Structure 1
Amino acid sequence: MNKFIYPLLLRYQNFCSHLKHFDGIAALSLRLFLVPVFWMAGSNKLAHFADTVEWFGNPDWGLGLPFPTLMATLATSAELGGAILLALGLATRWISIPLMITMLVAIFTVHLPNGWQAIADPQAPFANMQVMESAEKLEKAREILMTYGNYDWLTSSGSFVILNNGIEFAATYFVMLLALIVLGGGRYVSVDYWLNHWIEKFHSEK
């Protein structure tokens, strides 16, 4: 049996040794996915900064956070700066930390009361009562639109849904950032890699 298994193990090991040269692709993919997410979030906050500050501080219809101007500035800076650094693969592990903090703040201050789902789907796992009740509302909305509106035109770009605004997206981004803390910017495809490569070369030549 060993004479069959051992050659397979050697081939697998050889395959893995060559695969390591492509392990930067995973980190690059995560970075490129997150760049537009944080750039758009930061740009929207910056474009409506006064409204952002008011939303951060208002206890009635906002987040009710202390020092709203400071908090809004930190969140906006982290998202815009984070998007730029992630695009470059520069200080990837360091910038992932404040971005993870912004995701935790978003989860616990905005999305958690709505449960898991971002888009309400009563058939999906983790559907809470709010999501279950959305089915009747969505069906009633469809009936109204089919009766009084051009339903085919209204749905030509996609189906109507109810936004549940749960933690799904924020939690997903948090996990992706956690992976980047472990992976870094990625072999060959980040400024971090080449800076580290240059530093190691410099020290080896001293």
Structure 2
Amino acid sequence: MKLMFASDIHGSLPATERIITLFEQSGAQWLILLGDLLYHGPRNALPEGYAPAQVAQRLNALASRIIAVRGNCDSEVDQMLLDFPVTAPWQQVLLNEQRLFLTHGHLFDPENLPPLSERDVFVYGHTHIPVAERGEACTLFNPGSVSIPKGGFAPSFGMLNDDVLSIQNLDDCRIIAQVSITP
């Protein structure tokens, strides 16, 4: 299975356009959005190309291929603009041997995990910092932010290709980090 992950778009039209282009080229079955899609939030500066209504329109064109969770900056008003569900605090993708637990990261996080097995993968955003590592309880994966990266990192996104999760630079697709999810 091939999946693409993007988090913390925060209304950036250029970041959205780039993710859509990469998604269309990737051959991924699903685009998984890990929250904070349209609004920049009071703690963040406006991202480049802030245009939430246009971001919603561009994402709506892929509505049937998006799995999304609600971020701390997402609201019911955002759902009114989006043609795919965005209000669930978490989702799950079931693989052959494990599951991907998808959440934004403000309710559950690596310090407050839901019940998971050590074969499972906790997939989250919120921190804007990329993570791809085996934790004590499960594998941890955060694709970083496509629009407002933190910690000195470049804008980034994630891919699951067979059994490898990778984080890639949004500009040149260079791999920043990766982890195998093979049990």
Higher-RCO chain (CA-CA 8 Å, sequence separation at least 6): 1
Structure with higher strand content:
2
Larger of the two Rg values belongs to structure = 1
TM-score band, normalised by shorter chain: under 0.3
Structure with higher helix content:
1
Question: What TM-score do you get using the length of structure 1 for normalisation?
Answer: 0.24
